[in-house]
Amino acid sequence: MSQRGIKKILVVDDESSLTKFLHLVLTKDGYEVATAKDGREGLRVFESIKPDLVITDMVMPDMEGIEFTRSLVKKAKSLPVIVMSGNAIGTKFLNTTCILGARATLQKPFTIRELKESITGVENSR
């Protein structure tokens, strides 16, 4: 693992296959990764592990990505958040999350390279 500021990542998405895949890819790259299935669970996990980065979906049950992002930014203004969406409605609101404090967005489907470039970009902007 290289000398980097981001060590712990929280991935929040209601698609378990995607969270499992991202967990695999990111742990293979040397990150500690925790997952949550929605925004409410994501807030609980955030409080317990204090991640260096959060990657969250836009459209989820119980607590949407916009509300989740706003809650995170209120708790930790400097926390980098990457918001992703593949849902047509969610994709329209990706830029809104940047206004609320997200540092980057990813449109699903995305490549591993795009994911890693987003993480690197967020890390370099810290």
Q: What is the pairing mode between strands 104-107 and 53-57?
A: unpaired
Global pTM value:
0.92
Residue 126 lies in a domain: no
Domain CATH for 26: 3.40.50.2300
**70: containing domain:** 8-120
Q: Is the pLDDT of residue 92 over 80?
A: no
Instruction: Tell me how many domains the chain contains.
Output: 1
Q: Which residue has the higher pLDDT, 126 or 100?
A: 100
Q: Is the pLDDT of residue 28 over 80?
A: yes
